[in-house]
Homo-oligomer: A and B are copies of this chain.
Amino acid sequence: MLAEIITIGDELLIGQVVDTNSAFIAKQLNKIGVSVYQITSIQDDKLHILQALKNAESRVDIIICTGGLGPTKDDITKKTIAEYFEDTLERNDAVLENIETIWKQHVRTTMLQVNRDQALIPSKSKPLMNRLGTAPGMWIEKQDKVFISLPGVPYEMTELVDNEVIPKLKEKFNCPFILHKTMIVYGLGESALADRIASWEDALPSHIKLAYLPNLGKMRLRLSTKGSDEAQLKKDIQDQINKVIPLIREEYAGLEDEDGSVEVVIAKQLTKLGDTLAIAESCTGGAVAERFTVHSGASAFFKGGLVTYSTQSKIKVLQVPESDINTYSVVSAQVAESMARNAKALFQSDYAIATTGNAGPTKGDSDAEVGTVHIAIATNTEVYSQAFNFGNSRIKVINKAVNKALEMLLKEIFKN
């Protein structure tokens, strides 16, 4: 079963908004065995929308559009879809009732005709009830194909996908089972990794596809397969993982979580061990803490964090010895280790991570070269740090430092 996602909105094409909707929808579709063949982002333009629908219809079975369903004049998706199906818009009473309920609960201003008009949907469509906003989703079938239109506001879209779109697609189509497993590998570049595992890769069965995903000091190796026999496919992938691990024993850091993030693996392990974590950040500025706290359940292991951005705050708030700063500079192993040690004590945690560095573009309170980052780990038995240079792009330095800090912690907590 193939799908195409069409995201509609000028904001995507001028680069004002990053399209996160497609990745979410693609991931959810994959889970029920629907492959996404293409993602197409187009303008709020009638002819362009009509053309994109026609092209998608020729390629795939399921077409999911997002965006352009608001009450204002720049939103034209709904009438364009009606035109595509040679249909007219009709008031749907259940949708109107839903809009009125939302309005009463959440909006202080008076309801307008344009809001009531959001209850107009193509007569051939079934509404997908949007409990979080006034723009309904729509489901239209044409022969064996399904067209779905969803609002572009991410949290409304995700709710509709999870509660309406996915259950209905599962009911309608008999989809194969799709499985992806991603191995996290540290310390080997793309070609060195490929060289190391070449014999294994060459012997992979044809129904297993391999992909290399390099990302700032971390490699991900994804194995994908699809078919009808779920148990057999799971076994096939696991067999291959078991075969390749001995070739990369030193560098292999575990399987990526379904959520796609190493911090989730760390979170699960800390929670399982009953251990806790504190974080002291300088150059990463809160980004390490944020990686953990965005996931639910963080309070089970995360005690707290400090962003000691200024030198003064490192001394005053985190009790880093001023003499160390004067002797070694604020970007040094000594300061990173002090930060980790003191954060661990302050928050009474089992582990602490600390980062201090110069993300650039200009030098801060230190003579350290732009890109220099020291990362320290404190445990109940030791404190240690490593020094890195992550280059001269600010965003890259921050992201690499976050990834490296997570990598060091991952290795630490899986040591035994």
Contact = CB atoms under 8 A, between A and B. Distances in A.
Contact of A190 (B41, B42, B52, B71): B71
Contacts of A210: 73-74
A contact residues, range? 35 or more
A273 interface: no
Contacts of A20: 18
Interface stretch (A30-38, A235-243, A320-328): A30-38
A398 B290 CA distance: 10
Given A191-B115, A313-B303, A22 B11 contact: no
B15 A35 contact: no
A25 to B, nearest CB: 7
B290 A285 contact: yes
A362 B298 CA distance: 11
Given A109-B192, A394-B296, A27 B40 contact: no
B296 A285 contact: no
| SS class, residues of chain A in contact with chain B | mixed
Interface stretch (A85-93, A119-127, A304-312): A304-312
Contacts of A395: 155, 294
Interface string A183-198: 0000011111011000
Interface stretch (A211-219, A379-387, A408-416): A211-219
A30 B15 contact: yes
A207 interface: no
A70 interface: yes
Contact of A307 (B24, B30, B115, B307): B307
Given A16-B27, A286-B287, A191 B312 contact: no
Contacts of A15: 22-30, 36
A180 B10 CA distance: 11
Contacts of A356: none
